Structure 1
Amino acid sequence: MFSNILSVELLKTKRSVLWPLALLVPSLSIFLGVGNFLVNAREFIGPDDNLWVEAWSQVVIFYGMIFLPTLVGIYAVTICRFDHLTGGWKQILSFPISRIKLYFAKLFILYLLLAVTQLSLVGQYIFIGHIVDLSGTFVLKDFVLYGLFGWLASLPLASLQLWLAFNWRSFGLPLTVNIALTIPVLMVSQTPYAFYYPWAQPSMMMSPAYELFRPSYEELFAVFSVLLILFTTLGLLHFRRKEFA
């Protein structure tokens, strides 16, 4: 039954902007980050610095601090938008299907979109890095881990955004809330509390610049797990009780 619900939900996204965004937003982030690095930041880099890592840090500023948190909100709102616009919630819930399975099907698609986005980012960065001939030691494992940690750190925020998205019919309201809470990321990232702020967590985990300031991985994953379980549970409980018009 879950696979059938998941198939239907995936079909809803087939003709949407979601999958193109998973490719285009990483491309834009790399263009801005690597471009800024080559034009401005490179003159401040020492001869022994690893340009693969330094350029990646610039990409993360645009992608992790601005585009990714915003993109999470766009994904969540778009996944729920079809049901809000067409009365789909009431229609689909009139069938004998589990609300729990429906909720997790939408959550799974949201997580999948973020995984594709992260893969797209890492893959395109490696390709562009070789094209522009970045010097230094290229370690594939490091960039795979940056992508993986960024994905894991985005899951609590994704669960929170899905909760907001199904609760509000308005396309703009949950996005406005999300963007308003994304704006302080640049300031929050300069404080010891950045690793506990859901909108800042992905960029902190993806950026080499913050490796020395990170708490232990055990503490970080404990924080991510608590937030993920909290937002997912609260969202699911609300979804099970909510009356859709």
Structure 2
Amino acid sequence: MLSYETWLFLHEQVIDNICKLILKLLDHERVKPKVLIVTGGFSNCPYIVPRLEKLFSERKDPLKVYRPHNAHESVVRGSVLWAINQKKLSFLRAFSTLGLSVDWTWNPWDPHDDHKVSSFESSTGFLRKRCFDTIIRRDDKYEDGKEYDDVYVLPRQQTSVEFGLYKSEHKDGIQYCDDKSKCQLLKKFVIFFEKPLSKQVDFQITFILKHDRVRLLYKHPDTGNFDFAIVKFEGECVEDVVKIGKEFENEELKEDA
């Protein structure tokens, strides 16, 4: 059993070695990257990215640092894609590669919340995890009609869930959608529930990817029924927020009449 001081010492050693290796690579004249993607289990360490950003800020051409949400999955897929010459990536990518995001909210004052994660930033040793700006990336070419299923945990007393649908600005090259200044928003969605959730529930949603649109199929927590919404890639105003819920369905019926 390691003591806390020993754990910190080992962390410091690993971070120091990582920084030395990266600086050594960057000093090689044939290595001229524009971004650095931190992957692997150790990338979840809260100190690694700030340390790298500080190092890069002192260089003439600082790099941008990205840390994927799912660090383990990105090790294999991301390393293969980035290892290939960028010019050869175009055939792997669809015209509109998507990044799908779900916004989470923080409510640390809720005493009934049992969905927690450990954190050094909290005096209690825990932060209550609320869905905030989580990006799910789809960076490979998809077949027409390809489906992805996801389940998001919604805490009790939640009255709505908000998420955005993004795509890369360019069809060639990798574009990570956690840097929203370099992504194109397709549409924002807000799904409202008729009553605040009495307990924590799983919000099920299926993304059906088509070449010119995306279909969202979701199970509404209020009714238990499956509803859907459609987003086209072009020709729609992205400034409009799509509001989904019974009260808004009635408004749409009045407008259609």
* TM-score of the pair, normalised by structure 2: 0.29
Q: Larger relative contact order (C-alpha < 8 A, sep ≥ 6)?
A: 1
Q: In proportion to residue count, which structure has more strand?
A: 2
Compare CA radii of gyration and give the structure with the larger one.
2
